[in-house]
Each structure stands twice: as C-alpha cells, then as structure tokens.
Structure 1
Amino acid sequence: MTDVHATLSSAQLRDVELALAGANGGCARLRLRDVEMVQGETIVLHDAEGTDVAQLRADDVAVVAPHPAEVAQIGAGTAPDLPGETLVSGAVSARRSLGHRDRTDLRVTAGFARVPLAMLITGTVPEPEDAGWDDADPVIVLDRDDTSALASAIARVEAAGRRVVVMPSPSDPASARDIAEQLVADRVDVWETAIPASPGCAILLTGLSGSGKSTISKLLVERLAETDERTTTLLDGDEVRLILSKGLGFSREDRMLNVQRIGWVASLIARHGGIAVCAPIAPYEAMRREMRERVEQHGRLLLVHVSTPLSVCAERDRKGLYAKAAAGEIAEFTGISDPYQIPSDADLTIDASVVAPGDAVTQILEAMRP
C-alpha cells in the first residue's frame, strides 16, 4: 500500500514534535489539506521544506467540509472546494530526526529526565533583574517558530543562572501546562507573560479583473512608504505571474497554486516584520481562507474586497477580455464563465466605482490601525 504525503503547518509541526516526545500518549490530531486515504494507510508528514519528519498510522479518519457549500458569487459555474480537509488522529512515530529544529540540545524529547518542579513562562521572558521566579528548576520556554524570540528567551533564563528547557508551543495554548506536566515535571507552575504580537502583516485586495485592485495597491504602497517605518512589498497579481508563477495557466488548479505562492511569500514577509500588499483576483473563498491561515501564523491579514460591479469592470477593460470571455473565446474567466465568490469575512469592502483610489487607501490605512 502506497504512502500518503501531507505538508504540516508550523503549528502542526509543533504538535507532531510534542507527540513524538510522548505528549498525549504519542498521538496527534491534525487537520490535513488535500489528503485522500484508505483506512490503514500510512501518512508521511513533512515540513514546509519537504523534509519527512514523522509518520502517522491513522486509526480514525473523517472528511471535514472546507467551508459552507453556499456562498454568494458572481459568474457562472461552481467553484471547487479547494483545499479539502481531512481530520486525522492516530499514533505518530519518527520518520527522521528533528535535528533541523532550533536548539535541539535544549528541547524536550522522548525519555526526558523528569523533575519534581518546573516553571513555565508563557510569553516574553523578563530581564534577569526583573525575573523574581521562585526555586523551580528548570524554566520552560515555548518555541513558537520565531528563532530570534527563542534565542532571546534562552539567553535571559541562562543569564539568571537557571537551566532552560525548550518546549514546542502547542496549537492549543490552554494545553501547555498539561503537556509540560506530561513531559517535564510532576508539577509545573505557570508564569503568565504577554506574547509579543508580530509587527508584520499582509493586506489582500481581492476583486474582479478591472476592479481597481492594482491602482489602489500601488498607491497604498506609496502611502505606506511615507507613513510606516516597516518595509512594504507589493505582490501584484500580474507581476507575480511573470516570475513567481511563470509557466502557470489559468485553470482552477493553477490559480489556486498562484494564490498559494503569494500567500507563502506574504507569510514570510509578515514573519520578518514587513508588510505585504497582495492584489490577485483570488476568486475562491477557500484559497483566501488558506492564505489567511498561513499569514496569521506570523502576523495579521487584512482582507479588502474591492467590490466594483461586474458591469463597471467590463467597461474599464481595455484588453477586451470580458467581451472575449462572453463570446466563449476565453475559458474559465472569472465573473463570466467561472465564479467569483464574494468574501464572507472581508475586513473592509470598497466599491472603487464610487470611491476614489486615494480615499480607498485612506480607508485601508484606518482599518490597519490596532
């Protein structure tokens, strides 16, 4: 029987690492995308870089609907339910060493020598002179896949003369203490400290071709350069296709992959404290939802629906694409022969047929404020 392969998100990778260390009886429960399997097959789990890290012997498999089936849409046809999700739970076993993880010398692993008492710090580790912790030893710090933050936390604990243990932060923060008591100490005292918010963010402008996304996004980048100290990167749909997505067509699968690539780059920008301004059509709710989930692992995503009516977009079309699509000369053209699903979770909606580009940018900047 062939193996089934699945790519883990950062949070899922942490949960798998905890299972490999013995948490929850060595079991993990994961929502995996685009997984179709037969009972008894082995699911090979790998990280975003393609490194196989573990395998899961599934004992329970259930398909979970990716989103409500009925959504408002413009255009003909039915959008694909992409990506699908499968809820899988079962025993996890190591496939390869997790030696690529930060500070493997300090990480809790299977066979860790338990201690009577430990301190778990949930967020930022105070400066040594402000620590004030009791005699609990070791001090557990959580790894949230931020190399810089983890290094700073370790340095502060060690500067206070304490032993430090690194534990992956579980996807359910409320379970951290329970897992620490399973893996590290008989009793774990918790010191609640603030988790610093990532300063990075992504702004996704979605809408029909000709809706005004590119005009607004370019002006937005100019305004951000004048008003925001963070580095801003524009990921315009047409420009991305020239390099990042060169060779992709306009089938549903290729458009999905194009937006996935934009979301991946945007998440990297957000992770490193920058601002990504993205302006693809992104017609399907499933692809926008995946991008939100990817970005929000590291920062904030602001979803802006540029809701310019189809009739106005067609009037603006200098290339005549809408007319060709209506005549059947272009297949799967969004808004005509292929649907555009109207966002149900937009943070901001702007009709660029009545709102000037400069005013639209002002609205976006206002929505960006905490």
Structure 2
Amino acid sequence: MTDVHATLSSAQLRDVELALAGANDSCARLRLRDVEIAQGDAVTLHDAEGTDVAELRADDVDVVPPHPAGVAQIGTGTAPDLPGETLVSGAVSARRPLGHRDRTELRAAAGFARVRRAVLVTGAVPEPEDAGWDGAGPVIVLDRGDSSALAVAVARVEHAGRRAVVMPSPSDPASVRDVAEQLIADRVDVWETAIPASPGCAILLTGLSGSGKSTISKLLVERLAETDERTTTLLDGDEVRLILSKGLGFSREDRMLNVQRIGWVASLVARHGGIAVCAPIAPYEAMRREMRERVEQHGRFLLVHVSTPVSVCAERDRKGLYAEAAAGEIAEFTGISDPYQIPSDADLTIDAAVVAPDDAVTQILEAMHR
C-alpha cells in the first residue's frame, strides 16, 4: 500500500463533497489522470489550489488506456503520450472542513434534521412569481461551481419565501434525486428547468508556424468586436511568451507549460462570460485535450485546425527558420525536427493556403453559432 496524491476537477470535488455529506454510503467514484493507483492505496485528494480535501481508500481500481491509440503527425520525433486514466472508487474521509457543503451545514440548512418533503430545481431557479411550488418544505438548489448563478438561485428562493438548501451537483445527473433523498428529504419533487448555458467561449487556433493563425485570429477579434457583445481577449502565441510565459524555452516540458497557462487564462475568460481567442502552435494532442477539458468546465471550446501544408509555411517563412531546421541547425522545430500532431477532434479545419483570412473568419463565426 502506498500514498498517492491526485488533484480534483471542480466536478469531482462536488462528488467528493456529496460523499463526505453521507451520500452513496460515503463513497466516491473518480476518473483520475496520470496517477498510478493500486487496490488498497490511500489517495490524498487535492482541490485546484493544492489544498488537501479528503482521503479516498481505493477499494476498486480499473485502468483506462489512453485514446486514440495513434495520432497522425508532421515532422520527426516523438510527442508526449496521451495521459492514461484510472477509475477508482472507495470510501472517503475529510481532511478539512468543507464549509456549507459538509454534513453538519447541509443538515443545518434543512433544519438540523431530515425533512419530509422538498423541491429540487434541476437548472435555473425561476422568478418567484413563476415558481408555483406547492407545500412548505425547503427548495434544493444545485451548486455547479458558478458562484454568481448560485447566489441568484438562492436569492430567488428566499424572495419567494422559501428556505434554500444548497447541494453540490453530482456529476451524474441521473442520480440527483437519489442523492437529495439520501441527504435531505424523504420525498423530493423534481422541478425540471433548463440549465443556463455559460456564455463564455474559448477558440483555439492550432497549426504550424506560418500557417496563418495570427492573421486569422486578429481578424477574428476585430469581427467579434463588431458583431458580439461579449468581451474578447486575444492570446497570441508570440505575445503570450513575452509576459505570461516569459523565460520558457521550446523544450517539450516548456511547450506543455506554455499551453497550460494559455488554457488556464482562457478558462477564466470563459468562466466570466467572455471569449478567448488563442493562437499558439499547440502541437501536441495531449495539451489540446487538456485545454478543451479545462475550458469546458466553464463554457464552450472550439478547436480550429489551420491546416496549411508545411511546404507553404516554409515558403512564407521570412526568417528562414524552416530552412535552418531542415539543415539541422535548429533543434525541436515543430513540423521538421519536432512533431506536430494533427488534431483528431478539430471542430473546424481551414487550409489557409486556399482560404482567404476573411473567409476563414466567416467560417469560424458560423461554427460558433452552430
């Protein structure tokens, strides 16, 4: 038996919080990445800030191989492997108080004891005059990690003269009634409403150096300023390296860290309802997948592959970098001496050798509205 550490996503943290409150016999089932776990291991669980949250005793472990098995690439060399995943389940125990979501506070919000009946609102809480809830029990609102939306939901319930009980939203929507009946009320009436879609969005334009990413992204930001009310932030690869990634080189590890930082900023922009337009080379499938997963916790992610052929990119290269890389004078140059993995999950592919920048922007805007 060994001690293992794992960092939870916001959705996983909510599942752990529910288990710590007593749901599912105080057990959680998690899909963890890049962690080797054996049956019987004690897994220390951290939140995004690195704080110990809970400990999980691994009673059941199943290794999930990475997918896809192979990714087509341009250039020589080996890209980082896609991360493997481990499905682990077991009992959890708290390592620190979890505020209003732990057992004591969750019970206190419901009146220090189970109630006979409660209403569960699955999505947006309606305005008080549109609620139409029967009975006098509490109204359960779901916390999905959006503090602003949660505050609005609680305020509407209280304005309607009802008591609000905040319950973390389980990752499996089908289990929400069962979990609520385990923790809060003998009978839970489900009031189904639409889950408000996050208005935030991140667009990643990926492609070789000289493929046209920067030109397209700058035009895209200009068009968005004219046609979209949301604030748009441009995270161009070269500009990011001047400040956010200053000091990083072009090793595999530094490239991964550079795109991780861009993805983190993009997810914050999306979380607050803005649009992030990102234009790094982002050559590896693993880094793009991580960015997608990070952003989709808060908003929409659109992956655009600018697929301009390497021969055209080399012709456009005013600095002669492609020629130097081909002559072996530059190590780890993407598309020549370092691989560019062709995206297997692109939402849109644009060959900027045949598509004009303005037309490329039009295609992206159309994809955003699909």
**CA distance in 1: counterparts of 2:104 and 2:155, whole angstroms:** 14
Identify unmatched segments of 5+ residues in structure 2.
none
User: SS in structure 2 opposite 1:189?
Assistant: strand
230-239 or 81-90, larger mean C-alpha shift: 81-90
Aligned pair count reads 369
The verdict on how the C-alpha distance between 1:211 and 1:201 changes in structure 2, with shifts beyond 3 A counting, is same
CA deviation after TM superposition for structure 1 residue 331, in Å: 2.3
**CA distance in 2: counterparts of 1:21 and 1:249, whole angstroms:** 46
Superposition map of 1:279-358 within 5 A: 279-358=279-358
208-217 or 57-66, larger mean C-alpha shift: 57-66
CA deviation after TM superposition for structure 1 residue 60, in Å: 2.4
Q: Is the 8 A contact 2:32 2:86 kept in 1?
A: yes
Q: Is the 8 A contact 1:157 1:164 kept in 2?
A: yes
**CA distance in 2: counterparts of 1:324 and 1:346, whole angstroms:** 30
Partner of 1:138 in structure 2?
138
Partner of 2:58 in structure 1?
58
Partner of 1:276 in structure 2?
276
Could you say what the CA RMSD is over the residues aligned between the two structures, in angstroms?
2.1
204-213 or 33-42, larger mean C-alpha shift: 33-42
Superposition map of 1:139-178 within 5 A: 139-178=139-178
Partner of 1:255 in structure 2?
255
**CA distance in 2: counterparts of 1:140 and 1:356, whole angstroms:** 52
CA deviation after TM superposition for structure 1 residue 177, in Å: 0.8
Matching residue's letter, 1:53: V
% identical equivalent positions = 87
Matching residue's letter, 1:123: G
Partner of 1:113 in structure 2?
113
The verdict on how the C-alpha distance between 1:2 and 1:239 changes in structure 2, with shifts beyond 3 A counting, is farther
Matching residue's letter, 2:172: D
Partner of 1:13 in structure 2?
13
**CA distance in 2: counterparts of 1:281 and 1:107, whole angstroms:** 46
CA deviation after TM superposition for structure 1 residue 37, in Å: 3.8
User: Which deviations, in whole Å up to 9, do the C-alpha atoms of 1:36-75 show, x marking residues without a partner?
Assistant: 2454332221111222211112122332223211122212
Q: TM-score, structure 1 length as denominator? A: 0.94
CA deviation after TM superposition for structure 1 residue 105, in Å: 8.9
**CA distance in 2: counterparts of 1:105 and 1:38, whole angstroms:** 32
Q: Is the 8 A contact 2:20 2:102 kept in 1?
A: no
Q: Is the 8 A contact 1:20 1:109 kept in 2?
A: no
User: SS in structure 2 opposite 1:352?
Assistant: coil
**CA distance in 1: counterparts of 2:147 and 2:40, whole angstroms:** 37
User: SS in structure 2 opposite 1:355?
Assistant: coil
CA deviation after TM superposition for structure 1 residue 210, in Å: 0.9
User: SS in structure 2 opposite 1:11?
Assistant: helix
Q: Is the 8 A contact 2:109 2:165 kept in 1?
A: no
Moved over 3 A (4+): 37-41, 101-112
Q: TM-score, structure 2 length as denominator? A: 0.94
257-266 or 140-149, larger mean C-alpha shift: 257-266
**CA distance in 2: counterparts of 1:172 and 1:183, whole angstroms:** 16
Matching residue's letter, 2:229: E
CA deviation after TM superposition for structure 1 residue 137, in Å: 1.0
Q: Is the 8 A contact 1:220 1:361 kept in 2?
A: yes
Q: Is the 8 A contact 2:101 2:166 kept in 1?
A: no
